[in-house]
Amino acid sequence: MMFQLSSDLHRRQFMASSASALALTMVSQSTLLALGNDVQTMTLGFSTYGSRGITTEEVIPLLAKTGYDAVEITSTKGFDAAPENVAASRRKLIRQTLDDSGLKLTSIMEHTSPDSNQTVNDANLERIQRAVGLIRDITDAKDVVIQTVLGGGVWEQKRNLFVEQVGRWVEKTADSDVTICIKPHRGGGMDNPEKALWIMKQLGDPSRLRMVYDYSHYIYTGLELVPTVEQAAKKTAHIAVKDTVRTSDGKFRFELPGSAGTINFTTLIKKFYALGYRGDISCEVSGMVWSKPNYDPRQAIRTCYENISKAFRQAEVPRPNHAAKSGS
C-alpha cells in the first residue's frame, strides 16, 4: 500500500514536472518565434563561382543541405549559368529548385569591364541586361544584385570611363529592381572603397548603385579592416569573403575563407551588422583555388560553411532559422 502510494505520488510529480517543462518549452518556442519576426538577420551564402563541374540545379540543394541560407549564381561567360547556357526549360527548373531548397538568391556574378572600344561596352551592357532577364526568370526576389569588377588600368586614366559605363548600366536597367554592385579589386583600376564611393558620387548616388565589400582585396595594402567597414557599410549591398596570404616573394594568393586565419571574419560580420548591414555574406572561392588539379568543390562548400558559420556564431549575429549565440 505504501509502495502504491509512493508510486502514485512519484507519477503525479513526474507528470506535473513534465507538464511544466512542456509549458516552458512552448513558451520558449513562442518567444523565439516572436523574436524571429522582429530580429533582423544576415544570410550566409556560397557563390557558384567556386562550384565549377557541378550544375546549378545540382549545387543548389547541396548548399541547402550543407546549411547555407543563400546562393550567388555566376553567370559570367563560360560558366554553367551563363544566360546563353540557360534555356527557358532550365530556367523553370532552376526556379523550382530554388523554391524547393529554401535558399535565397542574393546575387548574380557577371564580370564586365568598361573599355575604350564601344563595341565591347555594348556587349558588356547586353550581358548586364541578360543577367537581369535571368534574375526575372528564376526568382521573384526584389533585392538581388548584379556584381561586377571594372577591370584593370590606372585609376586616373580610367575613372571617367568607369563613371560613364557604370552610369549606363544603371540607366539601362532602370525598369528592374536589380542593384548594380561594383567591386573594388586588388590590382584593378578601382581597387578600394574610396574609389567606388567616388564613382557613386559622380553619378548622384543612385539607389540602385552600390558596392561589393571584399576585404581580401584590401589586406596588405595598408587598409585596416574596421576603418574600411566603417567607410563602406552604408553603400554596401553584397559582401564576399575569402582569405589572402602573403607569399615569401612579396606576392599574394587567395585561400578558402577562414582557412588561413589572416582575416578576422567575426569582427567583419559583427561590425557590418552593428552598422545596419542586413545582406549576404557570400563565400567566394578564388580561381587561384578552383583551378588547381585536385580541387574538390564539395569539400570547399563544406569547409567554407564550417568556417564562416562559426564566425557568425562568435559574432552573435542571427541568420534565418539559426539562433544568434556565441560558440567555438
Q: For position 14, what pLDDT does the model report? A: 39
- Among candidates 79, 74, 82, 86, which has minimal Cα distance to 48? 74
Consecutive H or E run containing 273: helix 265-274
- Identify the pLDDT of residue 325: 59
Residue 291 confidence (pLDDT): 96
What confidence score (pLDDT) does residue 15 get?
41
Could you tell me which residues come within 8 angstroms of residue 324 by beta carbon, excluding any fewer than 6 positions away? 39, 316, 317, 318
Q: What is the pLDDT of residue 20?
A: 37
Instruction: Give the per-residue pLDDT at 322.
Output: 77
- What's the number of CA atoms in the CB half-sphere (13 Å) around residue 159? 15
Quote the pLDDT of residue 323: 62
Looking at residue 5, its pLDDT comes to 36
Query: According to the model, what pLDDT value does residue 222 have?
Result: 94
pLDDT tens per residue across span 73-96: 999 999 999 999 999 999 999 999
Q: What is the pLDDT of residue 321?
A: 83
- Predicted TM-score (pTM) of the model is 0.87
List the beta bridge partners of residue 245: 253
Phi and psi based region of residue 31 (left: phi greater than 0; alpha: psi -120 to 50; beta: remaining): alpha
CATH class belonging to 40-315:
alpha beta
Q: Nearest Cα to 243, choosing from 251, 253, 252, 255?
A: 255
Residues of the chain where predicted confidence (pLDDT) is lower than 50: 1-39
Helix, strand, or coil (residue 186): coil
Q: Where are the domains of the chain?
A: 40-315
